[in-house]
Amino acid sequence: MAHHPERHFSERIGWLRAAVLGANDGIVSTASLLVGVAAAAATRADILIAGVAGLVAGAMSMAAGEYVSVSSQADTERADLERERRELEQNETFEREELTQIYVGRGLDAALAAQVAEQLMAHDALAAHARDELGLTEVHSARPVQAALASAATFAVGAALPLMLAWVSPDAAMIPAIASGSLLSLAVLGALAAHVGGAPMHVGAARVTLWGSLAMAATAAVGALFGTVA
């Protein structure tokens, strides 16, 4: 029988989380910034400069934040693995019994659990404990550089959408053009991310558009309140 490898949604969690977060934040933060500056009666040049600055600063901030956060997770994983390695060297019998009890708790009878624990530890004891005791797998392992690059790139792509709308829209229609176009983009992004992750598409679309609307409304209010008319 031919081997048919299955693909699961959990395999996408690492890059999907960073990519969706980056693109969503790029659209929401840049659109909100542009709407707020436009509501303050700024010139088109000032609005575009603010948008470009927000794109660059946001992409770098996302990359740095993701790298630091995921690096901390990777450090914790390495520390746990090193601790487990020492425990295996110092008391292998206890560690085998610990693994056996984990399998018993998952539904195996004691004899079979002991046999499984013995065979898995004979094959790769550290890997067995990393997976079944610590919950660490290759799929979910922390990848700081991948997360940082994905966040920065997707933020820049997301931020470019409202920035382009601000560039091509007439002065009188700039705010509604940015808001409507950005909300549509957020809805599409939310639905796509939900679909890729195996969740209902309408739920993903609704939650990102809701928070995007609130963010743009808040910055528009601030711009209108504190802005000055030339």
Q: Are 7 and 136 in contact (CB under 8 A)?
A: no
Residues in the chain: 230
Query: What whole-number distance in Å separates Cα of residue 43 and Cα of residue 164?
Result: 16
pLDDT of 218 reads 92
* Tens digits of residue pLDDT in 111-126: 787 777 777 777 777 7
Inter-CA distances, 106 with 30, 97, 139, 187, 212, Å: 48, 14, 21, 40, 43
pLDDT digits (tens, 9 = 90+) for 19-38: 777 888 899 999 999 999 99
Q: What pLDDT does residue 140 have?
A: 52
| Structure tokens belonging to residue 56 | 């660059």
> What does the pLDDT profile of the chain (230 residues) look like in tens digits?
444 455 544 444 555 666 777 888 899 999 999 999 999 888 899 999 999 999 999 999 988 988 888 888 777 777 777 787 787 777 777 777 777 777 777 777 777 877 777 777 777 777 777 776 666 665 455 678 887 888 889 999 999 999 999 999 998 899 999 999 999 998 988 888 777 767 788 888 888 899 989 999 999 899 888 875 44
Q: Are 20 and 121 in contact (CB under 8 A)?
A: no
SS3 41: coil
Q: Which amino acid is at 176?
A: P
Alpha helices in 136-230 (DSSP H): 144-168, 174-197, 201-226
Is the distance from CB of 208 to CB of 189 less than 8 angstroms? Answer: yes
**Beta carbons of 11 and 143 less than 8 angstroms apart:** no
In this predicted structure, what is the pLDDT of residue 134? 64
pTM here is 0.68
**pLDDT value, residue 151:** 83
